[in-house]
Amino acid sequence: MIQLMSKLAANAYLDGKDAKVKCKEMGYTHKYFSRDGAQCHAVWNKNEYILCFRGTEPDELSDLLADLNAIPRFSMTHGLVHSGFVGELEKLYDQLVAHRSKHSRKKFYITGHSLGAAMATIACSRFEEEDTVELLTTFGSPRVGTRSFVKGIQTPHHRVVNNNDVVTKVPLWLMGYKHHGLLTYINFYGNIRTLTFWQMVKDKWRGWRSNALDGVLDHGMQNYVNNLKQSDKKVS
C-alpha cells in the first residue's frame, strides 16, 4: 500500500491532464481540484477512494508563504496546527467533502508529500470526525500541529521519511510542533529499516558526508518512489 500511495503522491505533481492519463493506467478514475495554488487529486475505482495532496513547488508563491507562515491556530478538531498548512487545505476542503460524499461507500485513503503531507494530515483529522479513513500515508511531512492535535488523530498513519529529508525537521519542535504517525524510515542506502536512535544518527551522517545538499535531495518525491521500489523490506 505504501508503494501505491507513493506513486499517487508523485502523480499529484502532474497537471490535471497528465495525472488523469497516469491514473487511468493504474486503474483509477481521476478528478483534479485547484484553487489559488492549493491542489489535490481525487482518484477512485470500484472499491477505493483516495485523496492525493500536492506538495511544495518553488515557483508557487502561495506554497512558499504557507511553508514560512508557522503561526499556530485552532485546527477545527483538536489542538493547534500550523496556520499556513491549514490555510492551504481550507481553499479546497468544502469541494473535497462534497466530492467524497458521492463515493462514501468506498474505502477511504489519504496521502500527500511535503506541504501536501501536512494538508493530508489536517484533512484526515477533519474527515475522521464524520467518516472512516482507512489509512493516512505521508511522505516528507513537516511537523503539523501541537501535541493535543497529534494525540487526537485516530486514523492509522504511515509517516515515511527518506534519510535526511530537511522538510521533516520543520517547524522546530521547540515551537511546540510534533510529528504524528508510525515512522517508516528509508536509510542512506535506500532501504526501509528500523533503527535505534544512534544507528539513525550514524545513518544520517553518511548522507550528509556524501553530499552537503543531501537534505534537499532526499526530499524529492521521485526519490521516495525509487527507494520504496528497490527496498528489500516488504511493507503494506
Residue-wise pLDDT tens digits, 70-108 = 778 877 888 899 988 999 999 999 999 999 999 999 999
**pLDDT exceeds 60 at position 191:** yes
- The strand pair at 107-113 and 72-74 is best described as unpaired
Q: What is the CATH number of domain 2-230?
A: 3.40.50.1820
All structural domains of the chain with their residue ranges: 2-230
Residue-wise pLDDT tens digits, 141-187 = 999 999 999 999 999 999 999 999 988 988 877 788 999 999 999 99
Whether a cis peptide bond, with omega within 30° of 0, leads into 72 is no
pLDDT tier at 232 (50, 70, 90 boundaries)?
low
pLDDT tier at 138 (50, 70, 90 boundaries)?
very high
pLDDT at 236: 46
Total residue count of the chain as it appears in this document: 236
Q: State the DSSP H helix or E strand holding residue 157, giving kind and residue range, or none if neither.
A: strand 157-162
pLDDT at 150: 92
Half-sphere exposure of 94 (CA within 13 A, CB side): 4
Q: Are 173 and 99 in contact (CB under 8 A)?
A: no
pTM comes to 0.91
| CA–CA distance, 99 with 159 (Å, rounded to integer) | 26
